[in-house]
């Protein structure tokens, strides 16, 4: 085998490992963010739990860390000395039990990540920076398939190169046997040029595919940025808000119930946007965020007139001017309570995966067609619903003998103009 083929073999193997390692490290980062970052920093800083810097040195060796993470309660109850020590040192604050939520593999990935966290950006800027930008990108998730495609193309090119030189040396040894002259090895780029000359159409198709994939990823990026949206229905509308409030962080990672903030959603027509007092329930204590430090949370203090240094409300109040995203025209009547409580509809049916959104985006077109299509296909939730006990009987009477009839919303008047229009 010539040099070239060996080198490329190593290259391919290296790339393969680089890819698989990248995926593993990423899983660990993501799992840590989702499950642990609320209570643990990777530095010395104490949040609810101790900072995890140096934990591999102070915790008992072997499977101790794994057992602790999966079920710390069991370990404490078993009388384990170190477990009881940190439990008492932290004022008997309870850590979550992760058994059943995380697998052994997940915990391994998390521990690998805790052992080798990504360096904070601008490592010279001091130890204070705990929210590395790189980490955020990793958390944003999976590798773009486009990169995988490009990676695959590179690997295939390398393998073709290797096979080429193998073929060349085989050809030469054959030529030697037959007593023919050795053939010149033409350069790779020359051969590529020749090949492309002979396969113009294939090359054209290939360029089109790459071009299209590139355009598609630009398009997706624009969509994510909120640059693209449907002008007619405002689907995709995602205005920047005065405070970088993240639903992913609050409702997703920290699992705060939607109703905690949108507390009229089960009681009235409106879901409501929380007042700054609700933010202060937690942010009187939480003065620093993982991504923006004190900057964004300071805006909550400004709005409520709170002075974080003295802990008193002595400043002027300036209500936060949130920009409304969902807007039905005035002539339409829509009621949250009816849909959420009576109709038992999940928020996600109409608002999409809000728990995963850093910035809320309108996910449904809010057109008449959209309302009606759902009313046509959604069955009324009648089981155990006192509100419907009476109506249920009446309907049974009306549709006697047609047991398989589906009581969708349209059958209870969900298509009547006056129900939706003032
Ligand atoms: C709800 C808060 C909370 C969450 C979530 C949490 N922990 Fe903890 N963790 C604690 C507390 C508090 C302690 C200190 C012991 C105690 O009081 O139980 C602790 C202790 C630890 C320790 C021992 C630290 C030391 O100094 O020896 C490790 C390791 C640890 N946690 C890892 C994790 C990992 C990994 C996750 C995510 C899978 C996680 N924790 C999620 C609160 C939490
Ligand atoms: C910690 C408080 C909090 C929690 C928890 C919360 N939200 Fe919100 N939500 C807000 C605030 C503040 C806004 C206005 C700013 C914005 O749009 O991001 C908002 C806006 C929204 C909007 C857009 C409203 C508009 O302007 O049209 C929707 C939809 C929404 N939330 C749904 C949800 C859902 C679904 C959940 C639960 C998965 C949830 N929220 C949990 C505070 C919260
Ligand atoms: C039930 C508790 C709770 C409520 C209510 C709450 N937050 Fe938070 N908020 C948190 C937690 C927990 C964090 C994350 C702290 C951390 O991870 O270090 C946070 C972080 C933040 C951050 C920092 C983001 C960053 O990455 O730097 C901002 C900004 C913020 N919240 C805004 C708000 C606003 C605005 C409201 C009111 C609409 C609100 N929060 C209501 C618990 C709450
Ligand atoms: C059947 C569809 C549907 C469901 C289910 C639904 N919403 Fe809405 N939501 C809407 C529509 C439509 C609007 C626009 C209302 C308007 O402009 O009058 C809206 C508006 C909002 C707003 C903006 C403020 C307001 O009251 O107009 C918030 C916040 C909100 N929804 C949160 C929620 C939460 C939280 C849930 C789950 C508990 C939920 N929604 C369930 C359709 C829905
Ligand atoms: C995700 C499905 C879904 C969507 C989307 C939806 N609805 Fe509904 N709607 C329901 C369900 C389920 C009920 C039945 C609630 C009940 O049992 O009273 C209902 C009931 C109603 C009712 C009461 C009907 C009656 O006869 O009592 C009105 C009014 C209504 N919806 C208006 C709207 C409007 C306006 C929109 C669009 C902006 C809309 N809905 C979008 C599922 C939906
Ligand atoms: C389930 C709820 C629902 C029912 C039933 C319903 N509409 Fe609508 N209608 C809407 C919504 C939502 C809009 C606003 C659509 C938009 O802004 O794109 C709308 C808009 C309209 C408009 C204005 C169109 C425009 O382009 O602005 C008219 C006119 C209208 N409806 C007539 C009717 C008539 C007539 C009926 C009865 C046959 C009816 N609607 C039944 C939900 C409903």
The candidate with the shortest Cα–Cα distance to 22, out of 121, 134, 130, 131, is 134
CA distances from 106 to 18, 66, 100, 146, 411 (A): 20, 10, 11, 27, 48
Q: How far is the C-alpha of 87 from the C-alpha of 92, rounded, in Å?
A: 5
Taking only the tens place, the pLDDT of each residue in 66-100 is 999 999 999 999 999 999 999 998 888 888 888 88
CATH of the domain at 38: 1.10.760.10
Which pair of structure tokens corresponds to residue 247? 């639903």
Residue 309 Cα to chain centre, angstroms: 35
Same domain, 41 and 115: yes
Q: How far is CA 261 from CA 251, 265, 294, 344, in A?
A: 10, 9, 22, 19
Residue 45 lies in a domain: yes
Which residues of the chain register pLDDT less than 70?
Answer: 1-26, 118-145, 182-185, 219-231, 382-393, 396, 400-405
Burial group, residue 231, by CB count within 10 angstroms (0-12, 13-18, 19+): exposed
Distance from the Cα of residue 415 to its chain's centroid: 37
Q: How far is the CA of 403 from the centre of ligand 3 (A)?
A: 50
C-alpha dihedral, 372 to 373 to 374 to 379, nearest 10°: 100
And the tokens for 183? Answer: 């053939």
- Ligand 1 test: best mutation among 39, 52, 114, 115, most atoms within 8 Å of CB? 39
For residues 56 and 125, membership in a common domain is answered with yes
Q: Tell me, what's the pLDDT at 81?
A: 93
Closest atom, ligand 2, to C-alpha of 348: 35
Minimal CA–CA distance to 16: which of 159, 125, 117?
159
The pTM of this model reads 0.62
Residue 35 pLDDT: 82
77 alpha carbon, closest ligand: 1
Closest Cα to atom 40 of ligand 6: 417
Does residue 293 sit in the same domain as residue 351? Answer: yes
**For residue 64, is it within any domain?**
yes
- If you measure from the C-alpha of residue 380 to the centroid of ligand 5, how many angstroms do you get, rounded to a whole number? 10
Specify whether the CB–CB gap between 237 and 361 falls below 8 A: yes
Angle at 27 between CA 38 and CA 74, to 5 degrees: 55
Does residue 235 come out as left (phi exceeding 0), alpha (psi in the -120 to 50 range) or beta? beta
Q: Which ligand is nearest to the CA of 92?
A: 1
Are 295 and 388 part of one and the same domain?
no
| Co-location of 264 and 353 in the same domain | yes
Who lines ligand 5 at CB under 6 A?
328, 332-334, 338-339, 342-343, 345, 349-350, 366, 370-371, 374-375, 378, 380, 409, 412-414, 419-420
Last residue of a domain, one of 124, 139, 154: 139
Number of domains the chain contains: 3
pLDDT attached to residue 102: 87
Instruction: Supply the pLDDT for residue 18.
Output: 46
Using the 3D structure, point to which of 107, 139, 171 is the last residue of a domain.
Answer: 139
Which two tokens mark 300? 């909550």
pLDDT recorded at residue 130: 37
Are residue 346 and residue 371 in the same domain, yes or no? no
Q: Which of these, 92, 40, 30, lies nearest to 69 by C-alpha position?
A: 40
Q: Tell me, what's the pLDDT at 335?
A: 95
pLDDT at res. 238: 85
User: Can you tell me the distance from the alpha carbon of 324 to that of 3, in angstroms, rounded to the nearest whole number?
Assistant: 64
Say yes or no: 303 and 373 in one domain: no
Range of the domain at 132: 3-139
**Residue-wise pLDDT tens digits, 397-420:** 777 666 556 778 888 888 999 999
- The structure tokens listed for 348 are 């996600």
In-domain check, residue 81:
yes
pLDDT of 129 reads 36
One domain for residues 291 and 416: no
Per-residue confidence (pLDDT) for residue 137, from 0 to 100? 35
Q: Which residues have C-beta atoms less than 6 Å from ligand 4?
A: 258, 262, 265, 270-273, 326-328, 334, 336, 339-340, 345, 347, 349-351, 366
In contact, 247 and 358? CB cutoff 8 Å: yes
* Short-list 345, 336, 333, 326, CA closest to 409: 345
- Confidence at residue 162, expressed as pLDDT on a 0 to 100 scale: 86
State how far the Cα of 85 lies from the Cα of 68, in Å rounded to an integer: 13
Ligand 2 pocket test target in 239, 269, 273, 346 with most atoms within 8 Å of CB: 273
Residues 350 and 383 placed together within one structural domain of the fold: no
CA dihedral 280, 282, 288, 291 (to 10 degrees): -100
């Amino acid at each position: 085998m010539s040099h070239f083929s060996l080198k490329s073999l190593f290259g391919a193997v290296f790339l393969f490992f680089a890819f698989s390692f990248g995926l593993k490290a990423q899983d660990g980062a993501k799992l840590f963010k989702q499950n642990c970052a609320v209570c643990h920093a990777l530095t010395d800083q104490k949040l609810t739990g101790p900072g995890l810097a140096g934990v591999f040195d102070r915790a008992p060796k072997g499977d101790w860390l794994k057992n602790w993470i999966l079920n710390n309660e069991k370990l404490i109850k078993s009388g384990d000395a170190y477990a009881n020590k940190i439990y008492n040192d932290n004022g008997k604050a309870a850590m979550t039990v992760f058994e059943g939520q995380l697998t052994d593999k997940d915990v391994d990935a998390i521990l690998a990540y805790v052992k080798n966290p990504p360096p904070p950006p601008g490592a010279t800027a001091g130890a204070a920076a705990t929210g590395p930008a790189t980490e955020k990108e990793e958390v944003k998730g999976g590798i773009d398939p486009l990169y995988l495609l490009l990676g695959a193309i590179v690997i295939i090119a390398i393998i073709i190169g290797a096979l080429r030189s193998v073929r060349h040396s085989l050809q030469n040894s054959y030529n030697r046997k037959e007593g023919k002259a050795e053939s010149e090895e033409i350069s790779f780029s020359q051969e590529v040029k020749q090949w492309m000359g002979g396969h113009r159409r294939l090359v054209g198709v290939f360029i089109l595919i790459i071009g299209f994939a590139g355009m598609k990823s630009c398009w997706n990026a624009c969509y994510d940025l909120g640059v693209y949206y449907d002008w007619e229905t405002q689907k995709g509308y995602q205005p920047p808000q005065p405070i970088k409030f993240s639903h992913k962080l609050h409702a997703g990672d920290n699992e705060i119930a939607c109703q905690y903030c949108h507390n009229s959603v089960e009681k009235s027509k409106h879901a409501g946007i929380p007042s700054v007092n609700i933010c202060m329930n937690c942010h009187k204590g939480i003065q620093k965020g993982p991504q923006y430090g004190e900057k964004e949370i300071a805006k909550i203090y400004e709005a409520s007139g709170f002075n974080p240094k003295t802990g008193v409300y002595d400043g002027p109040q300036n209500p936060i001017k949130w920009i409304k995203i969902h807007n039905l025209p005035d002539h339409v009547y829509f009621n949250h309570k009816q849909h959420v409580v009576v109709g038992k509809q999940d928020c996600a049916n109409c608002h999409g995966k809000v728990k995963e959104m850093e910035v809320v985006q309108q996910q449904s077109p809010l057109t008449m067609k959209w309302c009606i299509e759902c009313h046509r296909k959604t069955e009324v939730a009648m089981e155990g619903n006192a509100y419907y006990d009476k109506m249920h009987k009446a309907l049974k009477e009306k549709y006697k003998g047609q047991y398989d009839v589906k009581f969708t919303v349209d059958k209870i008047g969900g298509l009547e103009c006056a129900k939706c229009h003032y």
